[in-house]
């Protein structure tokens, strides 16, 4: 046992960071939440929100803490993405980073916290260049989100509880970065049998209005048990 402890003491010590890619949707565009860095190195430049792993935390604990710190939201949908470990990725200190991506409904976050931390929502195609290897993290997160969104109902995490079919189509067009045929999209979604059509209408889009829908998670879970796959 003494030899093992001695080996621990002689090994290099490195920092472990957790960086979070936070996606939102404003009914038109897929957006990403960025913060303006207020310390060196790279002070004044745009960055992902992040922090360091504490001795008493798991990686998921750290990610949840960081996400709540900026958004004020608990129980955010998140997924561990990738470990970034280039030796020179952080000029200040030898630091590994485990990246997570998270999906939130923009309307749910604490807007006062966003202002407090000099954070801002950017459309994905208009986001500024980021520090270190954060652009690579974002690119990898977008690819993962696209793969997940067509095979799992995670896209509904970005929508309000009640939404129109147009909003749902705009969301998927934003995620996939392509225009979708309206009729084909509606047929595919209806074929999944996971939406509940409500009697309520959204009257903001036209005089006639658009019916509102809700995602039925219980029905989706039953479909999964029956071997019915989700595929957009």
- Quick: pLDDT tens for 197-232: 999 998 887 778 899 999 999 999 999 999 988 999
8, pLDDT greater than 80: no
Split at pLDDT 50, 70, 90, the class of 5 is low
Q: Which fold, 2-149?
A: Nucleoside Triphosphate Pyrophosphohydrolase (3.90.79)
CA-nearest of 196, 167, 194, 197 to 182 is 167
Give pLDDT, residue 3.
Answer: 58
Assigned architecture for domain 161-225: Orthogonal Bundle (1.10)
Hey, what's the torsion of the CAs at 155, 158, 160, 166, to 10 degrees? -60
Calculate the average pLDDT of the chain: 93
Instruction: Give the Cβ contact number of residue 51 at 10 Å.
Output: 16
Complete DSSP assignment for 34-52: EEE--SSSSTTSEE-EEEE
Give pLDDT, residue 206.
Answer: 74
Structural domain spans, the chain: 2-149, 161-225
Tell me the pLDDT tens digit for each residue of 36-83: 998 999 999 999 999 999 999 999 999 999 999 999 998 899 999 999
| Tokens 């970034």 -> residue | 84
Give pLDDT, residue 207.
Answer: 77
In angstroms, rounded to a whole number, what is the distance separating the alpha carbons of residues 13 and 117? 30
What average pLDDT does range 87-105 have in this prediction?
96
What average pLDDT does range 163-173 have in this prediction?
96
What average pLDDT does range 125-131 have in this prediction?
96
Give pLDDT, residue 4.
Answer: 55
Split at pLDDT 50, 70, 90, the class of 172 is very high
Distant-in-sequence contacts of 88-94, Cβ < 8 A, 24+ apart: 89/132, 89/133, 90/15, 90/17, 90/41, 90/132, 91/41, 92/40, 92/41, 93/15, 94/12, 94/14, 94/15
């Amino acid at each position: 046992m003494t030899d093992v402890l001695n080996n621990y003491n002689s090994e290099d010590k490195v920092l472990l960071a957790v960086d979070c890619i936070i996606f939102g949707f404003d009914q038109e565009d897929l957006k990403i939440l960025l913060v303006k860095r207020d310390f060196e190195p790279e002070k004044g430049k745009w960055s992902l929100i992040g922090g360091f792993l504490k001795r008493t935390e798991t990686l998921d604990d750290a990610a949840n803490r960081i996400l709540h710190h900026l958004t004020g939201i608990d129980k955010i949908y998140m997924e561990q993405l990738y470990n970034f470990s280039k030796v020179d990725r952080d000029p200040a200190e030898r630091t590994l980073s485990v990246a997570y991506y998270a999906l939130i409904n923009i309307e749910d976050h604490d807007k006062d916290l966003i202002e407090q931390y000099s954070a801002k929502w950017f459309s994905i195609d208009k986001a500024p260049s980021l520090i270190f290897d954060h652009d690579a993290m974002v690119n990898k997160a977008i690819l993962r989100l696209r793969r997940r969104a067509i095979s799992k109902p995670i896209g509904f995490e970005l929508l309000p509880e009640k939404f129109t079919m147009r909003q749902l189509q705009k969301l998927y067009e934003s995620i996939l970065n392509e225009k979708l045929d309206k009729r084909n999209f509606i047929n595919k979604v209806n074929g999944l049998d996971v939406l509940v059509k409500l009697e309520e209408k959204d009257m903001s889009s036209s005089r006639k209005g658009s019916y509102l829908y809700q995602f039925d998670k219980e029905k989706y879970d039953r479909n999964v048990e029956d071997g019915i796959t989700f595929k957009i």
